[in-house]
Each structure stands twice: as structure tokens, then as C-alpha cells.
Amino acid sequence: MYPNRLPRRLTTMVAATLLVAAALLAPGSGAYAAGPVNIIAKHSGMCAAVSGGSILNGAAIVQRVCVSSISELWNLVYLGMGHYAIQSANSGKCMDAGAGSTVVVQRTCTWSGPQSWLIGREPNTDQNTWWTFRPDSIDCLQVEQSAIYEGAAYRSDWCPTVVQPNDIFRIPAGSAPPR
């Protein structure tokens, strides 16, 4: 009767399904939280911030006293499988762990590699408050040498078997990554 309609409808349905799937699975499709969040070091109570409020590639991530500045606000952009890009609300650039033991900086977002952070709840704590951030299987985000002063650099470095307080960060309640 109408032999050409079925293939055309099927093609249209498949194309629409693929477009919806691509939109849902696209990296950087949006932050899961209602808005930007602070990332606060457990050992110092200070916020992760882009040094000097810079918007340039390569600017270091440091700790500083939390003052509600836009340079210390971050969007956690879900990439899938528990991984997030940590994107500056000020510059739109992402925390980048580089290769190996290195100072963490901001770079144009690539949504992968050293910008893909596995965020995990820290056991034996208020599990919706304290988190570890891992760019790979052996390293974690940490404040250099457990420093408690402003301006101390954030690093990606080896995680000990027992995670230390400078390896643990708080995301304010209500803003924590989904379980």
C-alpha cells in the first residue's frame, strides 16, 4: 500500500533517538548542582581558588580564606561513571591535573584525561560532606605539604593508603555529587 513510509518513519525514529542519547551523554552537558560550589580543604578550612582570580590557562589552583569570591566557586560537571570536570565559575576553565605529581592548574576544558576527576565519598565521615578527588587510580587532589597558609598550591600526587586530611575536601551540604 505505502511501502516507502515504514523505512522513512524508522529512519526518523532512529535519528531522533540518537539525538536524544547524544544530548544526555554529552560531556559538559551541565552541572548537577543548582549552582557553583566551594571546595573546602578539611585540614585548613580554606577554599580552592584560582590564583589571583586569573582567567588565563595555566593559572595555579591554590587555597585561600573563603570570602565568597567568584574565583573560589566551581561547577561540578558530570562526565559519567562517577567522573566530573571541575569548572571555574569565573573563567569557565577546568581544573587540570597534568601528568604525574604536579601543581593543579586551570586549562581550557577538554572534558577528559587530567580534567576528569573521580569524586568519591570519604568513609568514616559524614558521607555527604567529605570527598576525595582522583584524576587517576593512584593520585588524588591535595594541598601541598598539608599547608595551612593562604596561597598553598593544590597538587595531584600519590594518595596514601590511609587518606590524609589534606586529601579530603568538603562540598557544602545540598551540593554534594549524587550517590
Taking the C-alpha atoms of residue 139 and residue 132, their distance in angstroms, rounded to an integer, is 10
- Specify the pLDDT at position 18: 34
- Specify the pLDDT at position 122: 73
- Specify the pLDDT at position 158: 84
- Specify the pLDDT at position 174: 59
Query: pLDDT digit string (tens) for 40-91?
Result: 998 999 999 999 999 999 999 999 999 989 999 999 999 998 899 999 999 9
Q: What is the mean pLDDT of the chain?
A: 78
| 3-state class (DSSP) for residue 65 | coil
| Helix (H) / strand (E) containing 17 | helix 5-25
Q: What is the DSSP string of 90-136?
A: TT--EEE--SSSEE-EEE---SSGGG-EEEEEPTTS-TTTEEEEESS
Decide: residue 111, CB within 10 A, 0-12 exposed, 13-18 middle, 19+ buried: middle
| 3-state class (DSSP) for residue 24 | helix
**Per-domain residue ranges of the chain:** 28-170
Give yes or no for a contact between 122 and 171, defined as CB atoms under 8 angstroms apart.
no
10-residue averages of pLDDT along the chain (179 residues) = 51 38 40 73 94 95 94 93 93 88 90 90 64 81 90 88 78 62
- Specify the pLDDT at position 22: 35
CATH number belonging to domain 28-170:
2.80.10.50
pTM of the model: 0.76
Helices (H) and strands (E) in the chain, counts: 1, 13
Within 13 Å of residue 101, how many CA atoms lie on the same side as its CB? 6
- Specify the pLDDT at position 19: 34
- Specify the pLDDT at position 115: 93
The DSSP output letter for 14 is: H
